[in-house]
Structure 1
Amino acid sequence: MNSLLKWALILFVLISIILNIVLISIHSGRAPKCSSQRLHPLQEKHDERSRVFADLSRDEYLQVQQYMLMQKDLDISTLQNTKPSQNFLFLIDLSLPKKADVLGYLDGKSSKPVREATAVVFHGTKGHIKEYVVGPLPNPVYHRDVTMEKYKKELPINVRTVTIGEYVLLISFLEQEVFSKLVKLMKESFDVGQDKKLNVFHQMPRGVKSGDRKTWISFFRDFSGRYIHPVGFEVLVNHESINTSDWRVERLLYNGQYFNTVEELKQKYDSGSVKKIVFKESRNYGSLKPQRKPLQLSPQQFYAEGKRFSVKNNHILYLDWSFAFGLSSLTGMRVFDVRFKGERIAYELSVQEAMSVYGSVTAGMILTKFLDSSISIGRFAYELTRGVDCPYDATYIDTYRYIDMEAPTRYRNSICVFEHNMGQPLRRHFADFFHNSYGGMVNSALVFRTITAIGNYDYMWDFIFYQSGSVEAKVHATGYISSSYLVNGSLRFGHQVAENVLGNIHTHFINFKVDLDDLLTSTCQHAFVQVKKRMSFCALRGCAVSNIACLSADV
């Protein structure tokens, strides 16, 4: 009986498996499938003319670099360890053609504008900065100095941004002129020695008047999230000269106390006449490593019938929308020739500036005003993480950049594009008075995104294109706060966030450029006249403001 029961159970299991396979096969054809292929045709066609806005390709970067190196009178170096007293090719970027020329080309009224690049050279040997236009691309044959044309004056060499090479020199200077002379203090206060170092954080601006090049450098523990691990030590370095032998320490701040020289701090520390910082182990509370594994995957989005947008070269189509895009090393992401239902609604929408102003009682943070375009915004747009920075199924785009480096560098997946359900209907209405009815529309929108990690802040930049015909420019700040060491009087300028750590009070300012000049239709002109009666200052602000006001009135 046991044997018969055993075989009966085996037979039952086999029959059940076969039956389930048959049922699954029958019903699988009826179930909806997720398709990676587009089931419906695009409403528009990609426009090759968008290439007029395209970022430089790797080959174009190399062509410009080689051309500039061939100009023997410029005597340029491309090495990152180029000294400030030498000539360094700092930047190569697209030189956008004049708007009037582009509009003529886009509207089929004139030929394609000449493609050119911008090259910025730090002429340390001559003591100035030059900006050149190089062209035509491909295969450039000329360069033109446009410095005076653009800036109306010569640019002295000490207004240049700090390069990677200069950062290396500053760290070496600190080792020789500060750390090596304060061995006892560094060990007892910060546990710094041959095997342990402190991280540096440069404050900005680098001075209080034109011509200054003096940087307060703050020191932090060598942890992840170092920005919230200050140690209470800051040094003011004067590096105005292009000769590093002339650099000098002008002031030091230790535990809220100021000293004019390294020797003065050493003497007072050794004599016990300063309030000392005693090293204490600190846990890495700023780590982004999860303390526990998530129990399951978060909700995911998918395209049931394929993506409703398309990316080709630097051109994007989405339902009634079309636009060209790019990523400037200096200012960040930008879109051009934005059209809705074939009508151009904006010539340009772009990021221009991100600024943060701090308050503090300590030296560096008293002055700090981070003006991110001064160190370049787009250069810090790195690879995006699938499923975190953007949805897994987003379309990812690579970019190339040449800024403060020896060759053009590819940044994989540094732009993402995806359609996203905004979580609430675009419009809806339910009625139960006399008769029942409901009407609603799904609010899906296309998101064009980059994320720039500039020091402690990560800025998430979004241009969002809605089915209603509206565009939203949006920025979300994340990353780490900037902090300072807690000393007497600090709490007037922030909140304590950890032992001896102050989260400093600060304000963010974000600037976008919206160019709507070509939209001044007769209807819009009439609307603007009405607006000017209420906002007389608009007449003094130029075309861009007038058209924004016009659109607001028209809508």
Structure 2
Amino acid sequence: MNSVVKWILFLFVLVSLLLNVILIGIYSSRAPKCSSQRTHSLRGKHDERSRVFADLTRDEYLQVQRYMLKQKDLDISTRQLTKPSENFLFLIELSLPKKVDVLSYLDGGASKPVREATVVVFYGSKGLIKEYVVGPLPNPTYHQDVTVKRYKTELPFNARTVTIGEYELLFQFLKKELFGKLPELMKESFGADKKLNPFEQMPRGLQSGDRKTWVSFFRDMSGMYIHPVGFEVLINHMSLNESEWKVEKLLYNGQYFDTVKELQQKYAAGSVKRIIYKETPDYGSLKPKNKPLQLSPLQYYTEGKRFSVSGNHVLYLDWSFAFGLSSLTGMRVFDVRFKGERIAYELSVQEAMSVYGSVTPGMIITKFLDSSIGIGRFAHELVRGTDCPHEATYVDTYRYIDVKSSVRARNSICIFEHNFGQPLRRHFSDFFSNSYGGMVNSALVFRTITAIGNYDYMWDFIFYQSGSVEIKVHATGYISSSYLVNGSLKHGHQVAENVLGNIHTHFINFKVDLDVLGVKNVFQTKDMEFVNVSVPWMPNR
């Protein structure tokens, strides 16, 4: 009997396992699956004509560079450490074709506009900045000087941005003419073996033609921008001969000095209120103080992605658009269509500006115009799961600005569909009848993040199912600070020991070229006006 019971129990367990496997298989086949494959076809088709807006490829950058170097009369260098007195090929970028030519190509069946590049050369030998148009791409045969045509005048050489080559000379100058001449002060005030990081302020002077930069110094720590040390210098670097550069002013612990020698002598004589070095907490670190207890929620596409990216063209439900990333101005999209109708020819970032206030010299005059150093230039690789969802589509970009050859920025653009967590539209009726209608607020996000100095700007172009577009920017990163001195608190708030978070304002400028029902439309604003009117059934009231 025992053996029979054992066999019966064994068969029961075996049958139970088989039934469970079968039931799990049936249930799994019915349950929704997380799939990377699209289960429904797209509503439109990718348009290869969008390439008219595409950024230059790595090969096109190379071909333009080679062409310019072959022009011996231009005498151009591509060495990254080129001196200010030499000629340097600073920028290569797509030269956007005229709108009328593009629309004739897209809508009228005209031939494709000639593809060209804009090239900027810093001519130290001539004291000028030149801008050229080079084409046709991908195999250029001509270049045209368009400087006066575009700017109505020649561009003076002092209007150029500071290149990596000039920065290298500035660092050497600081080491020799400043740090090397103040050994006692550097040791006692800032630590014998501690490094100081310079952070320049803009603009470089108080009038056109100046090239005098206030440089503030910060501790070499995480988030250096909130670790000021109370030392600033004004460097005159107008001359193309770096041996003629000089320190014109110094600020130490709120006290001004005309020369390095004056500061050295007064410091040694004990007539200066000294800064005594001490360790500072690493409060600027981005490392978490506590380990997260569990993973955060993840986003996934249950039935695959409802958008598609081909080259520089995007399809999403009823939307389609072309995109690019300018080294100077950043994000831009073109030929934006909804249900096949163009509603915008161009939506693009143009400028990011921040204006500061302070009693210390650097922050007194600071007005950062980020396009002057390049907004898109600082679009770096995006981190999956933090900067963008894991399942986003990532796009590489290439740029040529202040380099010796084009640079690839891997995964510097991300595109994803996002559920914003609230209905796009909904209504629940419990008056006379009960009913509910709602629409999920899921939209396509086109994003890049540019880290410009202390600030990280997150640029989002958002395409909603309702046919509306939102463009927004979110600023993160670090504040820019200055050393706390007498009178500082009128221009900000104390954020740490001897650290002032300076008052400042951001201005962001976008270009919006709407083409609703064609190109002949305008946007007008009018002041609101209130007018008293009588109701028809009481005309005397």
TM over 0.5, shorter chain: yes
**Equivalent-residue separation in structure 1 for 2:519 and 2:153 (angstroms):** 38
**Equivalent-residue separation in structure 2 for 1:472 and 1:263 (angstroms):** 56
What 5-or-longer segments of structure 2 have no aligned partner?
Answer: 529-541
Evaluate the alpha carbon distance shift between residue 454 and residue 9 of structure 1 in structure 2; reply closer, same or farther with a 3 A threshold.
Answer: farther
- 3-state SS of paired residue (1:29): helix
**Equivalent-residue separation in structure 2 for 1:192 and 1:324 (angstroms):** 55
Asked if 2 retains the 8 angstrom alpha-carbon contact of 1:221 and 1:229, the reply is yes
Please state if 1:101 is matched with 2:116: no
Match of 1:365 in 2: 363
**Equivalent-residue separation in structure 1 for 2:452 and 2:437 (angstroms):** 45
Name which of structure 1's ranges 101-110 and 16-25 shifts more when overlaid on structure 2: 16-25
Give the alignment's TM-score, normalised by structure 1.
Answer: 0.91
Match of 1:65 in 2: 65
Evaluate the alpha carbon distance shift between residue 6 and residue 155 of structure 1 in structure 2; reply closer, same or farther with a 3 A threshold.
Answer: farther
Match of 1:254 in 2: 252
Match of 2:465 in 1: 467
Match of 2:299 in 1: 301
Q: Deviations over 1:397-450 (max 9, x none)?
A: 000000000111110000000011111111111111111101111111100000
From 323, 332, 339, give the equivalent of 2:321: 323
**Equivalent-residue separation in structure 2 for 1:95 and 1:11 (angstroms):** 78
* Letter of the 1:490 counterpart: S
**Equivalent-residue separation in structure 2 for 1:32 and 1:532 (angstroms):** 50
Evaluate the alpha carbon distance shift between residue 179 and residue 431 of structure 1 in structure 2; reply closer, same or farther with a 3 A threshold.
Answer: same
From 499, 502, 505, give the equivalent of 2:503: 505
Match of 1:30 in 2: 30
Please state if 1:441 is matched with 2:439: yes
- 3-state SS of paired residue (1:173): helix
- 3-state SS of paired residue (1:88): strand
From 452, 455, 475, give the equivalent of 1:454: 452
**Equivalent-residue separation in structure 2 for 1:519 and 1:75 (angstroms):** 50
Shift of 1:37: 0.8
Q: Deviations over 1:487-524 (max 9, x none)?
A: 111010000000000000000000000012574578x6
Match of 1:127 in 2: 127
Identity %: 78
Shift of 1:110: 1.2
- 3-state SS of paired residue (1:137): coil
Evaluate the alpha carbon distance shift between residue 217 and residue 11 of structure 1 in structure 2; reply closer, same or farther with a 3 A threshold.
Answer: farther
Asked if 1 retains the 8 angstrom alpha-carbon contact of 2:442 and 2:465, the reply is yes
**Equivalent-residue separation in structure 2 for 1:213 and 1:132 (angstroms):** 25
* Letter of the 2:485 counterpart: V
From 269, 290, 293, give the equivalent of 1:292: 290
Match of 1:174 in 2: 174
Evaluate the alpha carbon distance shift between residue 379 and residue 6 of structure 1 in structure 2; reply closer, same or farther with a 3 A threshold.
Answer: farther
Q: When you count helix as a share of all residues, which structure comes out higher?
A: 1
Match of 1:428 in 2: 426
Match of 2:158 in 1: 158
**Equivalent-residue separation in structure 2 for 1:202 and 1:533 (angstroms):** 43
Q: Deviations over 1:249-303 (max 9, x none)?
A: 0000000000000000000000000100000101110000111111111111111
* Letter of the 1:424 counterpart: Q
Evaluate the alpha carbon distance shift between residue 76 and residue 12 of structure 1 in structure 2; reply closer, same or farther with a 3 A threshold.
Answer: farther
Shift of 1:12: 9.3
Match of 2:201 in 1: 203
**Equivalent-residue separation in structure 2 for 1:123 and 1:284 (angstroms):** 44
Give the alignment's TM-score, normalised by structure 2.
Answer: 0.94
* Letter of the 2:182 counterpart: L
**Equivalent-residue separation in structure 1 for 2:519 and 2:179 (angstroms):** 66
Superposition map of 1:390-409 within 5 A: 390-409=388-407
**Equivalent-residue separation in structure 2 for 1:13 and 1:370 (angstroms):** 75
Asked if 2 retains the 8 angstrom alpha-carbon contact of 1:224 and 1:284, the reply is yes
**Equivalent-residue separation in structure 1 for 2:489 and 2:420 (angstroms):** 40
Shift of 1:380: 0.3
- 3-state SS of paired residue (2:73): coil
Asked if 1 retains the 8 angstrom alpha-carbon contact of 2:249 and 2:257, the reply is yes
**Equivalent-residue separation in structure 2 for 1:423 and 1:353 (angstroms):** 31
- 3-state SS of paired residue (1:73): helix
**Equivalent-residue separation in structure 2 for 1:301 and 1:485 (angstroms):** 43
Match of 1:334 in 2: 332
* Letter of the 2:40 counterpart: H
Shift of 1:23: 3.5
* Letter of the 2:156 counterpart: P
Shift of 1:9: 11
Aligned residues: CA RMSD: 2.2
* Letter of the 1:443 counterpart: N
Please state if 1:140 is matched with 2:154: no
Name which of structure 1's ranges 477-486 and 426-435 shifts more when overlaid on structure 2: 426-435
Match of 2:536 in 1: none
**Equivalent-residue separation in structure 2 for 1:71 and 1:412 (angstroms):** 32
Evaluate the alpha carbon distance shift between residue 52 and residue 362 of structure 1 in structure 2; reply closer, same or farther with a 3 A threshold.
Answer: same
Evaluate the alpha carbon distance shift between residue 521 and residue 354 of structure 1 in structure 2; reply closer, same or farther with a 3 A threshold.
Answer: closer
Asked if 2 retains the 8 angstrom alpha-carbon contact of 1:328 and 1:334, the reply is yes
Please state if 1:115 is matched with 2:136: no
Shift of 1:109: 3.4
Evaluate the alpha carbon distance shift between residue 126 and residue 9 of structure 1 in structure 2; reply closer, same or farther with a 3 A threshold.
Answer: farther
Evaluate the alpha carbon distance shift between residue 104 and residue 256 of structure 1 in structure 2; reply closer, same or farther with a 3 A threshold.
Answer: same
Asked if 2 retains the 8 angstrom alpha-carbon contact of 1:240 and 1:247, the reply is yes
- 3-state SS of paired residue (1:349): strand
Q: Deviations over 1:366-389 (max 9, x none)?
A: 011111011110000000000000
Evaluate the alpha carbon distance shift between residue 306 and residue 349 of structure 1 in structure 2; reply closer, same or farther with a 3 A threshold.
Answer: same
Evaluate the alpha carbon distance shift between residue 25 and residue 166 of structure 1 in structure 2; reply closer, same or farther with a 3 A threshold.
Answer: same
Evaluate the alpha carbon distance shift between residue 86 and residue 14 of structure 1 in structure 2; reply closer, same or farther with a 3 A threshold.
Answer: farther
* Letter of the 1:297 counterpart: L
Shift of 1:21: 3.8
**Equivalent-residue separation in structure 1 for 2:18 and 2:360 (angstroms):** 76
Match of 1:191 in 2: 191
Shift of 1:207: 0.5
* Letter of the 1:290 counterpart: P
Shift of 1:27: 2.2
**Equivalent-residue separation in structure 2 for 1:316 and 1:127 (angstroms):** 44
Q: Deviations over 1:9-52 (max 9, x none)?
A: 99998887666444423322122111111111111100010000
- What is the total number of aligned residue pairs between the two structures? 526
Asked if 1 retains the 8 angstrom alpha-carbon contact of 2:342 and 2:515, the reply is no
Match of 2:346 in 1: 348
**Equivalent-residue separation in structure 1 for 2:516 and 2:26 (angstroms):** 59
Q: Deviations over 1:128-148 (max 9, x none)?
A: 000000000011000000000
What 5-or-longer segments of structure 1 have no aligned partner?
Answer: 536-555
Asked if 2 retains the 8 angstrom alpha-carbon contact of 1:227 and 1:481, the reply is yes
